[in-house]
């Protein structure tokens, strides 16, 4: 068993599940979307991105691309959340929350693509 592959797979799947946990629920209800879960999703996605830098294969490049997309969208969602809570005079409205969750949904899609790539790569691996 390759420990590096285990750690890589762990962070890829954890990134997707944390993002899913934040995403699930009515899109405009802030009480259903925990900000700490969004923060954890950002941190784990960033760790997963760093782990993807070492792979020089074509599928590794696509893994990195999906991870960068997820990072960009989750960071954008975090910035919007922070702006709504700490800067906006209206506070965290339903519209702000819907925008944050929508960005998280885009990141979730990128995470799912990454997990599918991981499964395809694992299934197609030939021991030689």
CA distances to 5, 26, 80, 102 from 9, in Å: 6, 29, 29, 25
CA distances to 34, 56, 106 from 47, in Å: 20, 18, 19
Q: How far apart are CA 36 and CA 15, in angstroms?
A: 14
Residue 51 CA to its chain's centroid (Å):
14
pLDDT, tens digit, for every residue of 67-114?
999 999 999 999 999 999 999 999 999 999 999 999 999 999 999 999
- The pTM is what? 0.92
Q: How far apart are CA 36 and CA 116, in angstroms?
A: 26
């Amino acid at each position: 068993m390759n420990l590096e592959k285990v750690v890589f797979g762990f962070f890829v799947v954890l990134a997707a599940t944390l993002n899913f946990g934040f995403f699930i629920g009515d899109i405009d209800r802030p009480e259903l979307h925990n900000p700490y879960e969004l923060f954890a999703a950002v941190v784990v996605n960033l760790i997963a991105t760093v782990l993807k830098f070492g792979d020089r294969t074509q599928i590794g490049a696509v893994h990195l691309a999906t991870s960068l997309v997820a990072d960009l969208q989750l960071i954008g969602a975090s910035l919007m959340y922070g702006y709504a809570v700490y800067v906006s005079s209206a506070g965290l409205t339903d519209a702000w929350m819907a925008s944050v969750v929508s960005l998280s949904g885009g990141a979730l899609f990128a995470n799912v693509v990454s997990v599918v790539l991981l499964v395809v790569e694992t299934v197609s691996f030939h021991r030689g």
